[in-house]
Amino acid sequence: MISDHSSGVDYFQEFRILSVSPSASTIFIQSKLDKKTGERIVLWKDIQREIKNADRIRNGNKSISFMTDGDFEELVPLRILYHPGIVLDVIVASQEQEAAITPASTSSAQNSTRESSNAAQLQALVHSTRHDGVVSATHRFNDLTIATMETMNENLATQSTVLEREQQKFLQGHERLLHGAHLKGDMVQQQLQISNIDNYIMDELRMLDAPGNTFNNNNNNHQLYTIRLLQQMINRQVILENRIQAVMTQNYELHEYPIPRLFIVLPKAPKRRDKIIQPLTKQFRLYFLCEC
């Protein structure tokens, strides 16, 4: 640190050696200005230059500690605060008191160092705990966010699959309906053609059965036989078409109206004649439940 000479005023700290005699003369040591903190200080090495074997400093019965930083570590070089107008006592470790004073001084220095170390460890532990807590909370939040997004994605994928299946079912049902409509139209046209042929055959039969017909009997019989065969073929075709129509109707009903799978059996209310004829017989009735 650099002393303040710009103002032309020197600030001296007054010290007195306590171990020599109570009436010992005092020593003035110049203080210095700490430009970082703006406080006046006295360097410990300046005191040791003037007072050999200087061990510690007191203000009456109060010990003067070295200045420390925010982590309670002693500042380098060692220093004490400037006490204007106060005579500070310097305790010197003499030859006779060296054995008694040195252990106390060493113990005091060790205690001070131990306290500083404990304080630094405590502050580091608090900082580490806070940091770990923040990191742990951040990790938990990130894990929760990722799990929520994964669940939402799974739900969306499931819903999309269900919608695609429903759309495919709808398209298939629509195609079946269109195909059934075309088949039904074709069947109506065929029925009209069959009806026309049937009418034509009936007219021919009437003409053959009419009186005064000039055809030969053999030819008439042959034509009648042919016409009857044709009539049978037409009737069989009509029966087949009716069966096909029934099968198509049944398939449509099975597709649109599924067979009920839920049912319940309840006792049937007995009639009077049942009580007389079969008094010990119980009757039940099966009821199907709608799934809609």
Residues 106-152 pLDDT 10s: 444 455 555 555 555 656 555 555 555 554 556 665 666 777 777 77
Closest CA to 37 of 10, 75, 88: 75
In a domain, 34, yes or no: yes
Q: Which residues of 168-180 are buried (b: 16+ CB within 10 A; e: fewer)?
A: eeeeeeeeeeeee
Residue 150 inside a domain? The answer is no
79 is a domain residue: yes
User: Residue 190 falls within a domain, yes or no?
Assistant: no
**Residue 19 lies in domain:** 12-92
pTM score of the predicted model = 0.31
Quick check: is 209 in a domain?
A: no
Burial of residue 88, with CB atoms counted within 10 A of its CB: 0-12 exposed, 13-18 middle, 19 or more buried: buried
Look at residues 75, 92, 109 and tell me which one is the last residue of a structural domain: 92
For residue 87, give Cα distances in angstroms to 59, 181, 236, 255.
7, 120, 139, 111
- Alpha helices, DSSP H, located in the chain: 44-50, 98-209, 217-256, 272-277
Q: What angle do CA 25, 26, 31 make, to 5 degrees?
A: 165
3-state DSSP assignment of residue 189? helix
Residue 104 is predicted with a pLDDT of: 42
Instruction: Read off the amino acid at residue 4.
Output: D
First to last CA, the chain: 94
Q: For the chain, how many residues are written?
A: 292
Query: Is 152 inside a domain boundary?
Result: no
- Which of the listed ranges 112-126, 186-200, 253-267 does the model predict with the highest average pLDDT? 186-200
User: Which token pair is 23?
Assistant: 């009436």
The answer to whether residue 162 is domain-embedded is no
Residue 104 within a domain: no
Domain count, the chain: 2
Domain closes at, from 42, 69, 92 = 92
Nearest CA to 9 among 87, 84, 89?
84
Q: Under a CB-based contact definition with an 8 Å cutoff, are residues 115 and 74 in contact?
A: no
Winning range, highest mean pLDDT, from 120-124, 175-179, 288-292: 175-179
Among candidate residues 69, 92, 115, the one where a domain is terminated: 92
User: In terms of Cα–Cα distance, which of 41, 42, 39 is closest to 27?
Assistant: 42
Mean pLDDT of 181-188: 74
Instruction: Sheet with 54-59: list strands edge to edge.
Output: 26-30, 12-17, 87-92, 54-59, 62-64
Sign of CA dihedral 108, 109, 112, 117: negative
Kindly report the average pLDDT of the chain as a whole number.
73
Higher local confidence (pLDDT), 38 or 142? 38
